[in-house]
Amino acid sequence: MKTKISIILFLLITGVSQVNAQWIRVGKFNNPVNDMIVYFNHLYIAGDFTKYDGTNCYSACHWDGTTMFKITDPLPGIGVRRLNIFENQIFGTNALNFNNLSGFATYNMNNWNPEPGFTKSQTGLYSNLNYIFIGSDLGVLKKRVRQSAIYNILNDSINGGINAISEYNGNLVVAGNFTIVTAKSRSHIALMNMNGGFDSLGTGLDGNVTRLINYNGKLYACGTFLNAGGVPAKYLARWNGTTWSQVGGGLTSTGINGVKDMMVYNNSLYIAGEFTKAGNIDAINLVKWNDTTWTPMNYNMPGYVSAIKVYANTFFISSFSGDSAILYKFPGANGINELIKKSISATIYPNPAQNEIHISLDNYISSKMTYELLSMEGKIILSDEFNSETTISINGIQAGIYMIRIKGEQTADIVRKIIVE
């Protein structure tokens, strides 16, 4: 019998407008926040802090919309720089020291567990459906294949830190504070070719790169550099596959912290850091770019913005000034154009299933989705991207109870049980 499961996915389909809105203070850390991610309806926060609102909170915590859950036991090492999700686990990088293991660990909501084979500080972190990549401060690039516990070295001949990792047109890209890769000049950024070597992207950048992100077919890099491919591009530049260019007239800044974070959301790119103008408009430390124009986000608090993320239809940022990092939120009703909640009804059948499972999004909005078939222990059995509908072959899958998760960049994760016979 065909079973219909109605799934309500709330999508934010508007951007940020200039209105008289207020950023609302959530809480205070005693040192910078370096990264934030969303996982299973919680906002995960990582940084160099040891306190949150005056109580012990060591380098990581997570927020459920009401309560901040903290790690209260001291964490060996120096904070957490990056967070990422792979195979249903949260990973973090930095100088995390655990009995001669260092730099890379998994977060289980209460503490950190070290991953084997890492003895130096790590920063760069990136994952896709099949791999996770880790870059060290000493220029070693490693990867792990899905459903494997082995970390293989891709390159150990980079003469500086790997801070950012991404993909562009199907190729792995690494960037950071290096100038040489395998005895060849690669100015702060390099692209891995089909033979495993690393090619240059034009003449590269003239300073440190902290983040990489894909937006509208171009690769964006940010950091503390001043030029890209010989073109003035303070703190922010884009690569179109052939040349580097400045973005929208560039950023203006008298500070030294550069651009710290970027995020793609609702078909726009959000940029956070330390700057005063974007193009010819005033934009203090936080701004939106829609591939044509800049829009400020009415940020007027002290300090540069070190991290940005959307969680539960709300923008979250962390600013840092002096000896404190303030976590702020910007609710949809207070400054984002009226948030229109679009419901999508999904049909998943049959349930129980024997040979295949069909997923159909009934009133689909153009946005690439991902399904995951999970064991009850959270292990990913099958995963792939799809648009409005897909059929999953489950031949060879052992009979039992599983979970199907449907997710997209602009949607909350939806998880449902399904029986395989």
pLDDT for position 365: 55
CA distance 159 to 161: 7
Whether the predicted model's global pTM rises above the 0.85 cut: no
- 189: tokens are 């950024």
Helix (H, G, I), strand (E, B) or coil at 214: strand
Instruction: Judge residue 379's burial from the number of C-beta atoms within 10 Å of its C-beta, 0-12 exposed, 13-18 middle, 19 or more buried.
Output: exposed
pLDDT (0 to 100) of residue 376: 65
Domains in the chain, CATH or no CATH each = 24-334 (2.130.10.10), 346-420 (2.60.40.3080)
Contact between 47 and 29 under an 8 Å Cβ cutoff? The reply is yes
- Three-state DSSP class for residue 258: coil
Neighbour count for residue 386 (Cβ, 10 Å): 16
Question: What count of residues does the chain have?
Answer: 421
> 346 and 6 in contact (C-beta within 8 Å)?
yes
Do 386 and 415 touch, CB atoms closer than 8 A?
A: no
Question: Residue written as tokens 């990582």?
Answer: 46
In the DSSP assignment, the letter for residue 333 is G
CA distance 251 to 136: 29
Give burial (CB, 10 Å; 0-12/13-18/19+) of 174. buried
Place of tokens 């459920």: 64
Residue 131 to residue 147: CA distance in whole angstroms: 9
What pLDDT does 341 receive?
33
Partners of 68 in the β-ladder: 63
Task: Tell me which residues of the chain have a pLDDT lower than 50.
Answer: 1-21, 333-343
- Note the pLDDT of residue 109: 73
State the Cα–Cα distance between residues 68 and 45, nearest whole angstrom: 10
Contact 252, 246 (CB under 8 A): no
Structure tokens at 259: 């651009």
pLDDT at 377 (0 to 100): 59
Cα-based angle 412, 123, 50 (whole degrees, multiple of 5): 75
